[in-house]
Structure formats: C-alpha cells, structure tokens
Amino acid sequence: MRKKTFAAAALLAAASLTLTACGSGDSGDSPVAVVSEDTARKAATVLDQPFEKPDLVLTDTHGRKYDFRKETAGKPTLIYFGYTHCPDVCPTTMSNLAVAKKQLPKAEQDELRVVFVTTDPARDTPAELGKWLKGIDPAFVGLTGDFSTVQAGARTLGISIEPTHKDKKTGKTVSVHGTQVIAFSPKTNAGYVLYGEDASVDDYTKDLPKIVKGQNP
Amino acid sequence: MRRLLPTALAITGALALAGCGGSGGSGGDRPELSVSASYMPQPITGEMAAGFFTLTNKGDVKDELTSVTSDAAGSVTMHETVGQSMREVTSLDVPAHGQLVFKSGGNHLMFEKLKGKPKQGEKVAVELHFAKSDPVTVEMPVKSATYNPATGH
C-alpha cells in the first residue's frame, strides 16, 4: 500500500509539474498575476529629477509657428509624442486625456495645454494633424516640423523615437512612438510627472485636478 | 504492487506529453481554436482603427494566424510591438494548448481605409485565416475610444 500512495503522490507531483510547465509557456497566465498586483500601483511617477521643457519650435495645426516653451509658460501642460497613422496606443492615450480633461471645471480646462508632437512629420502635415485632433479634442495642440527637431526635443525628455521606415529584411513598415505622457507644472514649468501607456481615463481623471495646480498626484 | 509504480509513472509521462508537447506529435490531431474578448476601440477617423482579441488553442497541434480580412476595411494587417516599435508581421503562432493575445500595447490588428467610421455599439465582421484550421468569423464589437478590458469600461 505504501507504494501505491507513493505512486499517487508521484502522479500528483507530475501533474502539477505539467501545469507549471504549461503555465509558463502560455502568455496569458503569469502576466495576469502581475497585472492584478499592478492595479494597486499608481499610474503616475513623480520624478525626483524633473525635466526641463524641451526647446521645441515647430508648426501648429493652423500652419503657424509654435514655440513650446513660450506658449505653455505658466500653464499646466501635457506632452505626448506619437503619429496619426497609429491604430493603437496614440489614439487611446489622446482619447484618455480628452475624456479626463472634460471632467475638470471649465476654467481649468481652458488653462490646460495638451500638446501632441508628431513623430511622423512626413505624413502628418498641419492639416492632417488638425483633422485627427479635431476628432479627439479641438483644443489640443498638434505640432509638426523637422524630424530631427522633434527627435532632439523628445530625447531631452528621455523619449527615443525613430522615423517611420521599412524593415530591411521584411520590407514592412516599422513605426515608433513614445508611450509616455509628461506633465509640466504651471508653477515651476518643470516636467515633474510621467505616465506610461497603461495610464487609464480613471488615472488621468483622478490626477488632472492636482496637475493643473502643480501638485503631486 | 511492484508493477503499479512504473505504470503510474509511465502514464504521468504520457499525460505530461499530451499536456505540453504540441509539437511532440500525436500526429493527425488538429488545432482547436476559439476566439474571445474581441473588440475595436471606436476610431478617431475612418482611416485607421485597431482590433483586439484572444485566440485560444485547445488542440495538441499549433496553428498560425496567417491573415485577417474584413469587408469593412480596405486592408487589415497584423502588427506586433517590440519595445516602442510597431512592426507588421505576416503570421503569428497560436501554440498548442496556448493562446495568441492581441491587446493594447502588444499585438494588434490595424484596419485601414474603413468603409465609414465604426461607432460604439456597432459590430465589425472580421475573418481570421489560419495555416491549418478553417477561417473563423468574428463579430467584433466597437467599444468606446477609451475602453479598457481590465475594467470593462
């Protein structure tokens, strides 16, 4: 009988091993555990060393010169680097910001600057950008211009972008956008809060009332 | 009783193979695919939209998603995300006893030149084509532009 028990135990052990082995191969399981842990985390990262505003002088959706530092001085400001031929993260991020912004009191909505800088200026002309942003929030600012200016500005915020290009091996299009939204304080003009692509409408809705006042979320 | 132990071990060995070794080949078996959690966030314009879903394969054999078509769009392509770069791919594996997950920030479908702009509440019919299995049609519900499957709103 002892051996039978042992055999059963071996079976159980083997079965659980099998389960473990399958679980790790299955992209569904382990990340889920991480995500549920993540719901307790905050979407916002308050930066120990805030970013200086990038020196970006570009063209807005009306075709006018837009000096980012000058236009947003003393205003709560959010910046994001993306492109309009982007099906997934860019429209979601901008839509999240638009919906959260609408829940601020009107006066604070008017103060807030949301700036979308294109990483694909070859396709995102002022008119294209304007058409796209109108579908999200007509008050959002869209900027386009020289790719190297955009890239240099993004780099000062720790965001690396590349021009949209064809992969040498496959010939397929490769596009790169930022996933970060950076919030600048109206008090110090410093970029002091960072959001990743996981930040939801609820996160922004909760945090924007503080950000418009330059407080830590 | 002596015999029981090796037999039991042999059985568990076989179970383990059946559980994980899709490629270990109990030949003739087929992938068994099902689709869940499909949605399209309401797009900004009719030019560009994304689509997400989960493909589950309960079979012992892997399959490959080789193309996606939709009468609602001029073209549908598959993209994977590596770091912050999005690249188009021509096929994606659906592992035996595993899943292929399309989700925001990861694999996604890209719809271009849509015939009209899909609105929240509507459905977009999409056909998935595979290397081994027959095509599967998915009625993809259009959710809000800010829909988050984790919270369901």
What dihedral angle (degrees, nearest 10) is formed by the CA atoms of A145, A146, A151, A156? -70
- A8, A22, A172 member nearest B20 (Cβ): A22
Residue B6 lies in a domain: no
pLDDT beyond 50 at A38: no
| B51: containing domain | 31-143
Q: Which of A17, A154, A15 is nearest to A80 (CA)?
A: A154
ipTM for the whole predicted complex goes beyond 0.90: no
User: Do B110 and A95 contact (CB within 8 A), yes or no?
Assistant: no
Any domain includes B15: no
Judge whether B119 lies within some domain: yes
Contact B48 A172 (CB under 8 A): no
Alpha carbon of B134: minimum distance to chain A alpha carbons (Å): 23
How far is it, in rounded angstroms, from Cα A116 to Cα A127? Answer: 14
What's the CA gap between B32 and B55, in Å, rounded? Answer: 10
Domain count, chain B: 1
A189 vs A8: CA distance, rounded Å:
67
Check residue B134 and give its pLDDT.
Answer: 96
Return d(Cα A50, Cα A183) in angstroms, integer: 10
Among the ranges given (A51-55, A163-167, A207-211, B15-19), the one the predictor scored with the smallest mean pLDDT: B15-19
Residue A13: alpha-carbon gap to chain centroid: 44
More confidently predicted of A20 and A169:
A169
Q: Give the whole-angstrom CA distance, residue B143 versus residue B140.
A: 9
pLDDT value, residue B123 = 97
> Two tokens at A169?
């091996």
CB of A179 closer than 8 Å to CB of B82: no
Residue A176 reports pLDDT greater than 50: yes
Check whether A16 has a pLDDT greater than 60.
Answer: no
Contact B111 A170 (CB under 8 A): no
Encoded tokens for B2: 């002596």
Mean pLDDT, rounded, for A32-60:
77
Considering only CB atoms, A11 lies closest to which of B8, B49, B150, namely B8
A78-98, pLDDT tens digit by residue? 999 999 998 999 999 999 999
Total-model pTM: 0.79
Residue A43 has pLDDT above 70, yes or no: yes
Would you state the structure tokens that stand for residue A168, as one six-digit string? 């040498």
Q: Could B87 and A173 be called an inter-chain contact, meaning their C-beta atoms sit closer than 8 Å? A: yes
Best of A88, A103, A180, A198 to disrupt the B interface by mutation (most B CBs within 10 Å)? A88
The percent of residues above 90 in pLDDT, for chain B, comes to 72
Position B132 pLDDT exceeds 60:
yes
From the list A7, A132, A135, the residue facing B4 with the nearest CB is: A7
Q: Do B5 and A10 touch (CB under 8 A)?
A: yes
Strand partners, A58: A66
Instruction: Check residue A10 and give its pLDDT.
Output: 46
Is residue B13 in a domain?
no
Q: What is the CATH number of the domain that holds B75?
A: 2.60.40.1890
**Helix A201-211 × helix A89-101 angle, to 10°:** 50
* Bridge partner list, B35: B55
Q: Determine the pLDDT at residue B125.
A: 97
Give the model's pLDDT for residue B96.
96
Rounded average pLDDT over A137-143 = 97
Instruction: Inspect the interface and report whether the beta carbons of A131 and B45 lie closer than 8 Å.
Output: yes
Determine, for residues A92 and B108 on separate chains, whether the beta-carbon distance falls below 8 Å.
no
In this prediction, residue A41 carries a pLDDT of: 64
How many whole angstroms separate alpha carbon B16 and alpha carbon B99? 18
Decide if B16 is inside a domain. no
Cα–Cα distance measured from residue B51 to residue B66, given in angstroms and rounded to the nearest whole number: 16
**Is the distance from CB of A87 to CB of A95 less than 8 angstroms?**
no
Q: Has residue A49 got a pLDDT over 60?
A: yes
Q: State residue B85's pLDDT score.
A: 81
Rounded distance between C-alpha atoms, residue A156 and residue A171, angstroms? 31
Computed over every residue of chain A, the mean pLDDT equals 84
